[in-house]
Structure 1
Amino acid sequence: MLQTFLDNKPLYYDKIDYARMPRIYERIKSALKIPKIIHLVGTNGKGTTGRFLASALYSLGFSVGHYTSPHILEFNERIWLDGKSVNDTVLNEAHTKLLSLLTPQKAETLSYFEYTTLLAIFLYQECDYVVLEAGLGGEYDATAVFENILTLVTPIDFDHEAFLGSEIESIATTKLNAVRTRAILANQPHEEVITVAKRIAQQKDVLIEEYDSLLNEQDSIKITKIAQNNNLPHYLKENLMLSIAALKILGIDYDVENFENAKLFGRLSQLGTNILVDVGHNTLAAKSIYETLKENKYILVYNSYKDKNYSEIIHILKPIIYHVEIIDVKDDRIEERNKLVQAIENLNITHKKFEGIETHENYLVFGSFSVVETFLKEYRE
Structure 2
Amino acid sequence: MSLQDFLEAKPLYYKEIDHERVHIAYGLLKPHISRPKTVHVVGTNGKGSTGRMLAHLAYKGGLKTGHYTSPHIIKFNERIWIDGEDASDEVLEQAHQKLYAILDKEMSESLSYFEYTTLLAFVVFEKCDLVVLEAGLGGEFDATNVCEKELSIITPIGIDHQAFLGQSIEEIATTKINSIQKQVVLAPQPYEEVVDVAQKIAQEKGAVLFLNTVFRAGHKRLMEKVQEIAKSLSWGAYLVENAMVALQALDILDIDYDIDDLESVKLFGRFYQLKTNIRIDVGHNPLAAQAIVNAMDPETVLIYNSLDDKDYERVLRTLKPKVKRVEIIKINSQRATTLGEIEQALQRVGLEYRYYEGTIKRDEHYLVFGSFYVVEEFLKSMESHVSK
TM-score tier by shorter-chain length is over 0.9
Q: Distance in 2 between matches of 1:50 and 1:239?
A: 9
Q: Distance in 2 between matches of 1:124 and 1:271?
A: 30
Matched residue, 1:336? 338
Matched residue, 1:228? 231
Verify the 8 A CA contact 2:308 2:335 in the aligned structure 1.
yes
Q: Distance in 2 between matches of 1:259 and 1:52?
A: 7
Aligned AA (2:267): L
Verify the 8 A CA contact 2:304 2:368 in the aligned structure 1.
yes
Query: Deviation of residue 261 (structure 1)?
Result: 1.6
Do the aligned partners of residues 146 and 287 (structure 1) sit closer, same or farther apart at CA in structure 2, a change above 3 Å counting?
same
Matched residue, 2:129? 128
After the TM superposition, which of the residue ranges 264-273 and 254-263 deviates more from structure 2? Answer: 254-263
Deviation per CA, 1:142-166: give whole Å up to 9, x if none.
0001000000110000111110011
Deviation per CA, 1:352-374: give whole Å up to 9, x if none.
11102222222111000000000
Aligned AA (1:262): V
| Residue of structure 2 aligned with 1:271, choices 247, 271, 274 | 274
Q: Distance in 1 between matches of 2:322 and 2:227?
A: 26
Matched residue, 1:379? 382
Q: Distance in 2 between matches of 1:272 and 1:172?
A: 37
Give matches, 1:23-172, under 5 Å.
Answer: 23-172=24-173
Do the aligned partners of residues 236 and 263 (structure 1) sit closer, same or farther apart at CA in structure 2, a change above 3 Å counting?
farther
Aligned AA (2:325): H
Deviation per CA, 1:156-185: give whole Å up to 9, x if none.
001111100110001110111100100000
Do the aligned partners of residues 296 and 332 (structure 1) sit closer, same or farther apart at CA in structure 2, a change above 3 Å counting?
same
Identical residues among aligned pairs (%): 49
| Residue of structure 1 aligned with 2:292, choices 246, 264, 289 | 289
Query: Deviation of residue 71 (structure 1)?
Result: 0.5
Verify the 8 A CA contact 2:235 2:295 in the aligned structure 1.
no
Matched residue, 1:302? 304
Give matches, 1:164-203, under 5 Å.
Answer: 164-203=165-204
Q: Distance in 1 between matches of 2:227 and 2:69?
A: 26
After the TM superposition, which of the residue ranges 212-221 and 160-169 deviates more from structure 2? Answer: 212-221
Query: Deviation of residue 220 (structure 1)?
Result: 2.5
After the TM superposition, which of the residue ranges 280-289 and 227-236 deviates more from structure 2? Answer: 227-236
Q: Distance in 2 between matches of 1:178 and 1:156?
A: 14
Do the aligned partners of residues 225 and 290 (structure 1) sit closer, same or farther apart at CA in structure 2, a change above 3 Å counting?
closer
Verify the 8 A CA contact 1:314 1:344 in the aligned structure 2.
yes
Q: Distance in 1 between matches of 2:361 and 2:37?
A: 48
Matched residue, 2:317? 315
Query: Deviation of residue 341 (structure 1)?
Result: 1.0
Verify the 8 A CA contact 1:39 1:152 in the aligned structure 2.
yes
| Residue of structure 2 aligned with 1:366, choices 369, 373, 379 | 369
Verify the 8 A CA contact 2:58 2:256 in the aligned structure 1.
no
Q: Distance in 1 between matches of 2:228 and 2:325?
A: 36
Deviation per CA, 1:220-270: give whole Å up to 9, x if none.
243233323433210011110000001110123322323232141001111
Verify the 8 A CA contact 2:38 2:151 in the aligned structure 1.
yes
Q: Gaps (5+ residues) in structure 2? A: none
Size of the alignment, in residue pairs?
A: 380
Q: CA RMSD in A?
A: 1.3
Deviation per CA, 1:32-67: give whole Å up to 9, x if none.
211110100000000000110000001011000000
Q: Distance in 2 between matches of 1:6 and 1:207?
A: 38
Aligned AA (2:42): V
Q: Distance in 2 between matches of 1:87 and 1:188?
A: 36
Matched residue, 1:355? 357
Q: Distance in 1 between matches of 2:50 and 2:200?
A: 25
Aligned AA (1:141): D
Verify the 8 A CA contact 1:48 1:236 in the aligned structure 2.
yes
Matched residue, 1:327? 329
Query: Deviation of residue 186 (structure 1)?
Result: 0.4
Aligned AA (1:133): E
Q: Distance in 2 between matches of 1:13 and 1:339?
A: 25
Matched residue, 1:241? 244
Q: Distance in 2 between matches of 1:58 and 1:275?
A: 29
Verify the 8 A CA contact 1:34 1:125 in the aligned structure 2.
yes
Verify the 8 A CA contact 1:181 1:207 in the aligned structure 2.
yes
Q: Give SS of 2:70's match.
A: coil
Tell whether 2:260 aligns with 1:257: yes
Verify the 8 A CA contact 2:236 2:294 in the aligned structure 1.
no
Deviation per CA, 1:265-288: give whole Å up to 9, x if none.
001111222111110000000111
Matched residue, 2:348? 346
